[in-house]
Amino acid sequence: MHNLSVAGLIKGLKNKDFSSVELTQHYLNRINKSKLNAFISVTDDLALAQANEADLKIAKGNNTFLTGIPYAHKDIFCTKGVKTSAGSKMLDSFISPYDATLSHKFNSENMVMLGKTNMDEFAMGSSNENSYYGPVKNPWNLKKIPGGSSGGSAAAVASRIAPFATGTDTGGSIRQPASLCGITGLKPTYGRISRYGMIAYASSLDQAGPMTRTAEDAAIVLNAMAGFDSKDSTSATKETPDYTNQLTNSLDGLKIGLPKEFFSSGLDEGVEKVVMDAIKEYESMGAKIQEVSLPNSMHAIPTYYIVAPCECSSNLSRFDGVRYGYRCKDPKDLDDLYLRSRSEGFGKEVKRRIMIGAYALSAGYYDAYYLKAQKVRQLISEDFKKAFQSVDVIMGPVSPTPAFDLGSVKDPVSMYLADIYTLSVNLAGLPGMSIPAGFSKELPVGLQLIGNHWSEELLLNTAHQFQLKTDWHTSSPIEL
């Protein structure tokens, strides 16, 4: 059963090849045997209760398309009555009193939550080594990182211990782990999926999305995730289509742009070969390839690492040891309560970004740093607007290298460079995808697809057609 796609599982439930309870128990058994540390919480009892309810709905014909389908939920989405930790000691004991809109949507579909996946603390990281619960391991090589911050979700899907998982992408945290673990990951246009109940890192950048094995599965899941939410002031009122409707369109005449800045020094030769071979496959399907320029994309790292820390320093100010979350023992006074609760509750990377953000927003530095970063952000957005006047889709690498060894990158700045090809998409609020495109050094490599605003249908169609012609997305780790 675990080798079936979401589409295959839907068909199996419909044909009564298995029940939701049988399916759920099968995945729970696999999770409990896994050595990847992909889950923070495994919700066995809740999952089986939801599966039983789903089977009753199916028997009565009251089911929806996704009723009875199990999934893994990134532990950044609030789930009523279940621990929501955001990978942090600060929220290790936090039991959410309410559901995030996305959690509510899945519950309304009578889907089955297997558990909450491991992640970099407050979604800050590119390797999933910043979690309070320890690093997640890459299922292709247990000595390698899975990518972050949605590394637990990516590892769970790649190792077939969950049919699909949710992720969040602030600067590449869906696409980068999807690439390094060999799965399909979609970051939709900013505002396409509600952020209500999703613990905030950087509010103008955070976006939820599906992490699946195939583009078809991503389209199916996105149908359940997308839509306007009055509880989220950044939620788009734009009508959401059925994302499965355009999957079979021909790519003949599709105009693909290759940014010359993405194929410069720093890109691993093996990764570049995989990407260019994938581009040739698209050419064989009738796509037209041309070079484009995104000159300001190379400023994405300094721009992002001003904007995001500034927003995180504001968002994380609510964790003060007073209202909820970790509280230090026996504080001497209020200042001591604040100081020790935050210094003991937050990890090193979170504290580093809070300090950067607080500094950049301070009097005398706001104009020099934050305001200037916002201006460069606009220039990055304008580059994409210009490029999309001549092409339909932009393609390139997701990560400059395949997955690296756990613990091998000590310098924070070197770690930040792992996001060089993904950050600009978030800064511009565009949709982006990573799809399996091959292997380098026996490790998966993803191809990045970037679309104009609200072009998820085109990206999914472009990805699906590639997956009909190739079988990279069907590859599974040796450990399985």
pLDDT for the residue 324: 87
For the chain, percent helix, then strand, then coil, each to nearest 5?
A: 40, 15, 45
pLDDT for the residue 479: 54
| Nearest alpha carbon to residue 162 among 170, 154, 171 | 154
CA–CA separation, 465 and 104 (whole Å): 32
Range of the domain at 261: 1-480
List, as one string, the DSSP characters of 321-388.
Answer: SSSSS---SS-SSHHHHHHHHHHHHS-HHHHHHHHHHHHHTSTTTTIIIIIHHHHHHHHHHHHHHHHT
How far, rounded to the nearest angstrom, does the alpha carbon of residue 466 sit from its chain's CA centroid? 21
Number of Cβ within a 10 Å radius of residue 323: 8
Among this protein's residues, is 19 annotated catalytic? Answer: no
SS3 449: strand
Q: Which of 5, 19, 34, 74 is catalytic?
A: 74
| Nearest alpha carbon to residue 117 among 81, 80, 164 | 164
Q: Which of 19, 149, 179, 313 is catalytic?
A: 149
CA–CA separation, 295 and 404 (whole Å): 28
* 24, containing H or E segment: helix 20-33
Task: Note down pLDDT in tens along the chain; length 480 residues.
Answer: 999 999 999 999 999 999 999 999 999 999 999 999 999 999 999 999 999 999 999 999 999 999 999 999 999 999 999 999 999 999 999 999 999 999 999 999 999 999 999 999 999 999 999 999 999 999 999 999 999 999 999 999 999 999 999 999 999 999 999 999 999 999 999 999 999 999 999 999 999 999 999 999 999 999 999 999 999 999 999 999 999 999 999 999 999 999 999 998 899 999 999 999 999 999 999 999 999 999 999 999 999 999 999 999 999 999 999 988 999 999 999 999 999 999 999 999 999 999 999 999 999 899 999 999 999 999 999 999 999 999 999 999 999 999 999 999 999 999 999 999 999 999 999 999 999 999 999 999 999 999 999 999 999 999 999 999 999 999 999 655
Q: Packing angle between helix 6-14 and helix 20-33, nearest 10 degrees? A: 140
Sign of the four-CA dihedral 153, 159, 161, 164: positive
Task: Give the CATH number of the domain where residue 263 resides.
Answer: 3.90.1300.10
Q: Is the Cβ–Cβ distance between 410 and 418 less than 8 Å?
A: no
Among this protein's residues, is 74 annotated catalytic? Answer: yes
Two tokens at 309? 């820390």
CA–CA separation, 153 and 211 (whole Å): 7
R_g (Cα) of the chain, nearest Å: 21
Q: Which of 173, 235, 313, 399 is catalytic?
A: 173
Contacts of 376 (CB under 8 A, 6+ apart): 296, 299, 302, 303
pLDDT for the residue 480: 54
Report how many domains make up the chain.
Answer: 1
Number of Cβ within a 10 Å radius of residue 367: 9
pLDDT for the residue 38: 98
Q: Is the Cβ–Cβ distance between 20 and 178 less than 8 Å?
A: no
pLDDT for the residue 264: 87
Among this protein's residues, is 149 annotated catalytic? Answer: yes
* 288 conformational bin, left if phi > 0, alpha if psi -120 to 50, beta if neither: beta
